[in-house]
Amino acid sequence: MTEPLTPQTPPQARRDATEHTEHGVVRADPYAWLRHAGSPDVVAHLTAERTFYDFSVTHLHSLIETLRTEMVARVAPTEVSPRRHRVAFSYYTEHPTGRDYARLLREKFRPDGGLMTESSDVTSVTDGNRAEVLLDLNELVDDSGYLSMGVESVSPDERLLAWSVDRAGDEVYALRFRDLARGEDLADLIPRTYYGGAWSADSQWFFYTVHDEAYRPFQVWRHRIGTPATDDVLVLVEPDDRFELGVRGTRSGDLVVVWSESNSTSECWVVDAHDVTRGPWSVGGRRHGVRYHAEHRRTPAGGDLLVVTNDDAVEFRLMSAPVPQGADQDSSAWREARAEDPDDRLERVDAFEDGVVLALRSGGDHILRVLPHDDLGGPGRDVRSRFPGGEVYLDDTPRFDASAVLVVDEAYTEPAVWSEVDLASGAVTDVHRREAPGHDPARYVTERRMFPSADGTPVPATVVRHQDTPLDGSAPALVYGYGSYEAVFEPFWDPALPSLLDRGAVFVFAHIRGGGELGRHWYLDGKLAHKQHTFDDQIAVADGLAREGLVDPDRIATRGLSAGGLLQGAVFSQRPDRWRAVVAEVPFVDVVTTMFDETTPLTATEWEEWGDPRVREEFDWMLAYSPYDNLPPVGSRPDLLVTGAVNDPRVMVREPAKWVAALRASDPEWSPRCLFRVETGAGAHVGPSGRFGHLAYEAEVYAWLLDRLGIAEVTPR
């Protein structure tokens, strides 16, 4: 157990004699006992860590409250989304004044559209059109205070709502069905479901996924409305532990798509949404290393599938395929529909009655390309962000026959602007803006910089600062990074960020290898045997900022979450001298141990991302950088803030707990500068839920960072 100490003293976890011998290598694991998260000893230890954290930030309470107040002030008291039009109704969400969670509402469809009223009074009438509240998440929050939405899907006949919530943060969702005319839930209840879902065309069936004990979604079921869940029909099972299943409906309403994917390979099937007993039939089979996904397009000949695939194209290409009829088909039935620039990463395709929208990345920028059905190979019309460092992306446009699609454009300091893009003409019309009271985007500057990595590869970084903050080597900086899974962190407007920038800090997002900012090749060059590139790139951005005299070399902090937390652990160990402070949120830091343990959630599905430690060469890759197995030298460590959550199913709380315990024991003098903020109650992988709950968390992290960077007392500009 943990040695009983006062709140002013860092906890000291007991050490035991556990060892692992793999490939002839002996690894000590003295804190293996922390894997038993519910045991009294572990609960006591985590409670002690949280107590020490709470005590250690007591002097920051006033600053935390100041920051929280600033952040909340940039959020409109009542936030209303733009309408999403269906056939009979238009749907939107509204955050009522002062409330954490949204309400889902609808009103009778008006073809003239227009901006949504900002009123929070649901009994108000807009042009004689009364809004209905379909679901109020604020009414669903229990004593835990945590709530996360899983499924929110209106049936094709607009009579039912499939919805699911998680109240613990463990990503287990209870699925229900609400009669929208009566405003009441049906008796149907499916207690343990996962993300995703799809309706049959007649609104009588709903497809959903469930996960196994390792949190791998491995089955798709269909449920008939009005019947017990015990009568549900199993549609598909994925037996390969490396693959995860998903399900969705096509915008046309004609098909249900089921897909299974690993980090390198995928397969899609279709089910006839008009007769759910027809299918699933494979669209193109499964070949190792080939990924694809499919979208349905109606044509005069009856319809086909548009397929985005990396088959013979590293950065993916667009192909067409017939809809399988009565049997599986392989990719020999596919035909190339469009030849893209091989340097552009084609990400997805969306089909509508009047055209097709491609989403692609070119030179690090996200682009939407609108094409007519009869000229898929043509140049089309491109929609790009109007903001420096911004991103434009397709928002939910449910109607297949929509003449215009809804797109969103935003940046770190630019609140979102929603526009309608006409599919025929390409004309862009702004229809909605997110309010940010008191925020003036003109006060901030965003630019792109390039810094050479250890192997000479130029690494892009987005640099954001207040207009009065010079890049002359005097300002502190926060460098954020992720760099895994080909993920791209879109530069969403962040009401917390100005509180950092207004105090003279520079925010830098490092677009490092392992992410997808520069395409599939950028991702492939930062995974498996090349994972060290991810860490080198993060260090290179910080070194470049210092070397070029842009920021204060002695006041650079780094931050990241989950796989980005692994990044923080690695750069903390490899270059402790580079950082003034490190924030490692829910960090994946016990890499080798976790990748050997197939009972841990998501392990088998991750072997194609990190490696399979049962193979000696791949074991050596991971052992070389695993933070738990590579602690930094004593006496050289920067300040460290670590987070974790007992309910987190993605990074088990034992990983940050073991890492912190090992760091404390190896350097007792430094130990008080290491804080572990652990959520011992309800809480999720990405932190507290709710728009204000999340900002309260950000205020804590920012207060600690500002204090470590020496700008806690700076008056905001």
Looking at the annotation, which residues are catalytic? 562, 648, 685
Is residue 463 within 8 A of residue 506, CB to CB? The reply is: yes
122-131 contacts at long range (C-beta below 8 A, 24 or more positions apart): 131/105, 131/106, 131/107
Which amino acid type is present at position 278? R
Q: Cα dist. 560→98, 158, 403, 691, 701 in Å?
A: 29, 41, 40, 20, 12
H, E, C per residue of 330-346: CHHHCEEEECCCCCCEE
Helix (H) or strand (E) segment spanning residue 277: none
For the CA atoms of 416, 418, 421, 427, the dihedral, rounded to the nearest 10 degrees, stands at -80
Q: How far apart are CA 506 and CA 268, in angstroms?
A: 44
How many angstroms separate the first and last alpha carbons of the chain?
48
Which amino acid type is present at position 429? T
Q: How far apart are CA 424 and CA 401, in angstroms?
A: 12
Nearest C-alpha neighbor of 707 from the set 61, 31, 28: 61
Q: How far apart are CA 597 and CA 390, in angstroms?
A: 40
Nearest C-alpha neighbor of 102 from the set 128, 79, 119: 79
Q: How far apart are CA 83 and CA 106, in angstroms?
A: 9
Which amino acid type is present at position 135? L
The beta strands (E) that lie in 618-699 are given as: 639-645, 674-679
Is residue 105 within 8 A of residue 93, CB to CB? The reply is: yes
Is residue 408 within 8 A of residue 385, CB to CB? The reply is: no
Q: What share of the chain is helix, strand, coil (3-state, %, to 5)?
A: 20, 35, 45
Helix (H) or strand (E) segment spanning residue 354: none
Q: How far apart are CA 282 and CA 215, in angstroms?
A: 25
- The residue written with tokens 């556990």 in the block is 18
